Structure 1
């Protein structure tokens, strides 16, 4: 990792590639149609992601080692939280304009800061707490016009339910991030990635008795493509962390909103509202500030370790 970290441009390149391919995944899901159950979408996304992940791990000669784990219950917990987050997120994705679904999803890293403080006992000082609350306010600015549809259309309003589902996905995603932080203490990245796809596929099958849609060929192919893209994007994301620090590449996650606006306009005719753009700007600014603070604190911790005398 030390040698790879000297090539941040390569890390940024892989990060941007992961953002682009994740966006292709989301576009495939949205194009597949609004009447496909979220559990069925989640199964395709998880199961077909296994193929590129296995090929990648085989190429790296890391496949057998990736199956070895000392914390299988932890992987089950991460898979359960992740599958619930994906199901809620995919429901929102098919019922909301693409840029709004992406922007509301930016609440997930904000929630991860909250849960890291509450569950892991991490120290979060006033600067980051302020950024978290400002970011959540931005998410509410984006969501509020959709949530007020409950007053007009009752709980049958699909866009209101979609916004609520993405908000719930962000909360569950934040919990999943905290679980990943616990896993990385003892587990390899390849193990976490592989077991997530495996456990998520199994958990998604639980939704089968509740009724899956009979898919036309086009929708089936789009969902298969979404799964393969999800696996490829995960590989690119993993590679990005091999070549650069998290604080270097994390801000490039926010390029997804610019790409999402362009794709949504060209393919689906969606035009972003002023409220959505204002809320997104607030949320992205808060997220970037949190990344900056994490970077500064990391530098301070390194300086403190260098200044500490070695134990005798």
Structure 2
């Protein structure tokens, strides 16, 4: 563990489980809306509502002065990474079943384990590296490299989108660990929501009239660039739920990665995989193909192995420390 960081693993795990549950609901709601609204409108609405809840949490955690920072560039970079992670994942979600897109995205904990070495100075031994390699084999299987484009559910580019989302999400959570030394979770959430609002307004200015989506039937491009639509009354509650979820996700995940090592927290995000399968079946009637099941098994297995290995090493270190006194 990097010196100077908090390490309250139990509380961090509780926060990550709550955050992942909120993410699963968020993804299900956005997939429901993806056929009628542009992504940047959904993101703007969600973040505009979410930032209000996050500001309330800032007030509760200490007051508005907490929003002052001496690391604005890192906060902006972290926000942009989250934007890229969300945009690429949701673009894929418009064309892929929920469980398939989520399973590919869960390369993120593997990236977190790898990137924690250069970025946080955390140590990952050869056994854990081998487990990470097995997880990436699962990702490759889900990409179906042997299949022709005519047999795939979506293009190769769309299949790559959740992997890009996983990489940028991993970088974001490692920055969370760095920034969380000084910043409260509520502050980290506010900065993320603010970046989302700025980027979505930029999308609206450039593409809000839908002119870039007029000549394509591609569902991912349509979702990204179609014109803004005033929502009917029955969708207002969905947008409100997305906003509340955004605040919960931003706070819970920021808090989780503030309180414990990235390699300890990340494997618990795998709870999102069975939740995605559940929502995909119940709401959309989708069940994953065999390649996705194999990939899920390899990714979850490798992630849990990394976690258990981390716990074992932590017990050994504690035992040696106690033996000295």
TM-score by length of 1: 0.80
Question: In the TM superposition, what whole-angstrom CA distance separates every residue of 1:113-162 from its partner, at most 9, and x where no partner exists?
Answer: 222334455433212211111111111212327x945x3289xx745443
What residue number does 1:74 align with? 74
What residue number does 2:246 align with? 230
Residue 295 in 1 paired to residue 311 in 2? yes
Structure 1 CA distance for aligned equivalents of residues 174 and 254 of structure 2: 17
What residue number does 2:107 align with? 107
Q: CA deviation at 1:306?
A: 6.5
What residue number does 1:30 align with? 31
Do the aligned residues in 1 keep the contact of 2:38 with 2:228 (CA within 8 Å)?
Answer: no
Structure 2 CA distance for aligned equivalents of residues 131 and 105 of structure 1: 17
The 1:278/1:292 distance shift into structure 2, 3 A limit, reads same
What residue number does 1:275 align with? 291
Residue 152 in 1 paired to residue 168 in 2? no
Residue 208 in 1 paired to residue 198 in 2? no
Do the aligned residues in 2 keep the contact of 1:70 with 1:187 (CA within 8 Å)?
Answer: no
Do the aligned residues in 2 keep the contact of 1:85 with 1:169 (CA within 8 Å)?
Answer: yes
Question: In the TM superposition, what whole-angstrom CA distance separates every residue of 1:9-49 from its partner, at most 9, and x where no partner exists?
Answer: x7766544433222111111000023644333333333322
TM-score by length of 2: 0.78
Give the gaps of 5 or more residues in structure 2: 1-6, 209-226
The 1:108/1:61 distance shift into structure 2, 3 A limit, reads closer
Q: 2:144 aligns to what SS in structure 1?
A: helix
Q: CA deviation at 1:167?
A: 1.1
CA RMSD between the two structures: 3.4
Do the aligned residues in 2 keep the contact of 1:78 with 1:196 (CA within 8 Å)?
Answer: yes
Structure 1 CA distance for aligned equivalents of residues 133 and 188 of structure 2: 30
Structure 2 CA distance for aligned equivalents of residues 293 and 249 of structure 1: 13
Equivalent position to 1:188, from 184, 189, 196: 184
Query: How many residue pairs are counted as aligned between the two chains?
Result: 299
What residue number does 2:223 align with? none
Give the gaps of 5 or more residues in structure 1: none
